[in-house]
Amino acid sequence: MSTNTIASVRGPLDLANVGATLIHEHIFGLSPEIHWNWPDLPEKWDLERRALEAAERLNEIKRLGIDTIVDLTVIGLGRCIPAIERVAAHTDINIVVSTGIYTYDRLPPYFGNKGPGSIFGGPDRMVEFFVRDITEGIGETGVRAGMLKCAVDAAGITTDIDRLLTAVSETQHRTGVPITVHTDSEAKSGTEAWRALSRLGVAPDRVVIGHAGDSTDLDYLSRLADRGLWLGMDRFGIETTSFEDRVATVAALCRRGYTERMVLSHDAYSFNDRVDPVVVSKAHPNYHYAHISRDVLPELRRRGVSGSEIATMMVENPRRILEVQ
């Protein structure tokens, strides 16, 4: 079963209005415990100022033709929905938020110390929380999540990651929203992530293999796409894989017939207290929301990727992913 609307910060969003979408971005990356204890740090958190700054950046990409962004900031990355609501008040772009946990190996102790097999036992509340975020709303905001997020990094499926994938899969079955799984392309952990999710009964078209685009291994990527998974070509601007390699990989996969399996994004933040902004802007000068619109799409066109193929990756594929099924 599917519906015609998805959840967004401003309320139900008609699928027809999702439009050109950046499917893996962040607005704020925050470390609340640090802010509580060292509030005088230079990266001082000033909500209204940061909300206006984020809205300005989002308004810029709206002018460049982007209609929707998916903010994949979940527990572990400092999700703060009241702050996102302040951003949404100053921009017309659609913002879809998400739920889940970002960790590479161990669950945060709040979850890890409870539940079956843990030292203190008791009920495991992950599914309860994730389902509530999707069906009722997050905290007291009433803003519902439209995507699930988890990670399988180089450490693979540890005991805690197995618990997380089980909870995310259970939530996916109950709610129908899609999953983005962060993966490590060097370790090719997308393969392992999919093996686990498929064992848990998740359909491949409900899964985006996040950071697949860090890889230039066309065979690895083709094998994932052949299974019906979505490839997240979603770190444009992060120079650990060069612009040339990222663009060439997308163009090559288009030629191989995988246009209908790719989505493009940056994994960028407007404000992220976990990185040094000066260092980042020097080492990764194109790591921002506008890079795809300004640089990547024109370069793909120059390399023979057609306008309709670009529309497939920017509009149709995100819509098919976000549609609740």
Q: Which residues bind Zn ion (CB under 5 A)?
A: 72, 267
Under DSSP, the state recorded for 77 is T
291 annotated among ligand-binding-site residues = no
Looking at the Cβ atoms of 215 and 259, the one nearer to Zn ion is: 215
Closer residue to Zn ion in complex, CB, 31/118: 31
Find the shortest distance in angstroms from Cβ 102 to Zn ion: 8
In the bound complex, what is the minimum distance in angstroms from residue 25's beta carbon to Zn ion? Answer: 8
In eight-state DSSP terms, residue 217 is: -
149 annotated as ligand-binding: yes
- 129: tokens are 């929380």
Closest by CA position to 129, among listed 101, 152, 103, 165: 101
The answer to whether the Cα torsion of 277, 281, 284, 288 is positive or negative is: positive
Q: How far is the CB of 245 from Zn ion (least distance, A)?
A: 19
Burial bucket for residue 86 (CB in 10 Å: 0-12, 13-18, 19+): middle
Residue sitting closest to Zn ion (CB): 267
- Tell me how far, at minimum, the Cβ of 263 lies from Zn ion, in Å: 13
Output the smallest distance, CB 236 to Zn ion, in A. 12
273 in a labelled binding site: no
- What tokens were used for 162? 């197995």
CB closer to Zn ion, 115 vs 178: 178
CA distances in angstroms from 126 to 31, 99, 108, 133, 163, listed in the order given: 21, 10, 11, 11, 9
Q: Which is nearer to Zn ion, 72 or 95 (CB)?
A: 72
End-to-end CA distance of the chain: 5
**29 or 137: CB nearest Zn ion:** 29
Which value, to the nearest 10 degrees, does the dihedral of the CA atoms of residues 72, 281, 232, 79 take? -10
Residue 114 assigned as binding residue: no
CA–CA distance, 201 with 189 (Å, rounded to integer): 19
Distance of closest approach, residue 85 Cβ to Zn ion, in angstroms: 20
Q: Are 222 and 256 in contact (CB under 8 A)?
A: yes
Nearer to Zn ion, 61 or 72 (CB): 72
**Residue ranges for the binding site?**
24, 26, 149, 182, 211, 267
**Residue ranges for the binding site for Zn(2+)?**
24, 26, 149, 182, 211, 267
